[in-house]
Amino acid sequence: MLQGTANHGIESILVPTDMSPASAIALEYALAIAQQMRACITVYHSYEIAAGLAADEYSPALRGVMEKSQKELEQQLQQFVQPYTQVPYHLGNGIVEVKTLVQVGAINKEIAKMTAGDDYDLVVMGTKGASGVDEVVFGSVANAVAEVVKCPLLVVPAKAILTALDRIAYGTNFEESDTEVIDELIEWAGYFEQATIDCLHVNTNPSQKAEKTKKLENLSKQYESVTNLRFSLIEDDSVDKGLDKYIETNQPDMLAVLRRERTFIEKLFKKSISKKLTFHSKVPVLILKTTKK
């Protein structure tokens, strides 16, 4: 089963932030999605005073420092989100409810706890720098978050520019969960005036072209009545190069992948690899998760 949101939509979005310009881009995407889906947003910042110590283990002096830091960071976070809460924003027509939360603790552990239940339907995180997902806000936290969250995770590169969410691409490797993922994306597209969904597979073995073509045809037959869904087989030496060429030509607004595609996901977070993948500097990646092992 896909751990997605198609059964009830997106009602609550968590946006972890370090209050940098890069994480502001992620907040823009979260706001656009929230407006279309009528969701609320919690913008979250975590800090540590003494790494390795729980808050109840702090000395009186440390507690005083913590209280001062808490107040200062709460004010800073309010100032950070204030420009985004004044007027209708980008794709929608209503003002989104934006909450702020500052909490002491290790960011990866706190996000894991916050997303362990059903309180959030989507997590949106930004990246630092121009190289894309290799330098995710909070270091490698997004990779750890992708492992533990039940809900989808949207990773937004620092160079992403929000204009619309008109085209979503899904890279399939012919998983059993394909139909669940596609159903999920059809639900998403419905919120964005029937955005187009490109379901594509990159074939790296010429001898398997006929087999892969047949699999793609069988998958497409299940969606013959869906007019905004397209299926494509791409031939290239590697999946990475194939996706790069596809994205350069078609310019999708979002790329969706399954967390089970572990090898590909790991590449997103490795600097040496992702520098070679130009789309990582501009295309948000929606990471979906299935309960199947």
The answer on pLDDT for 35 being more than 90 is: no
Alpha-carbon distance 126 to 264, whole Å?
Answer: 19
Q: Which residue has the tokens 């110590």?
A: 53
- Distance between CA atoms of 61 and 66, rounded to whole angstroms? 9
Superfamily classification of domain 12-156: HUPs (3.40.50.620)
- Label residue 61 by pLDDT band (50, 70, 90): confident
- Give the whole-angstrom CA distance, residue 42 versus residue 140: 21
Stretch 162-180: mean pLDDT: 87
Q: Longest Cα pair distance anywhere in the chain, in angstroms?
A: 70
Report yes or no: 199 and 246 within 8 Å, Cβ to Cβ: no
Q: Do domains 12-156 and 167-284 have the same CATH topology?
A: yes
> CA 123 to CA 3: how far, in whole Å?
13
Segment 120-152, tens digit of pLDDT: 999 998 876 444 444 444 445 666 666 767 788
Could you tell me the residue ranges of all domains in the chain?
12-156, 167-284
State which H helix or E strand residue 168 sits in: strand 167-171
- Whether pLDDT at 275 is above 50: no
* 90 pLDDT higher than 90: no
Q: What is the mean pLDDT of residues 147-165?
A: 82
The pTM is what?
Answer: 0.83
CATH no. for 167-284: 3.40.50.620
Residues 6+ apart with CB under 8 A from 99: 40, 41, 42, 43
Instruction: For residues 153-178, give the mean pLDDT.
Output: 86
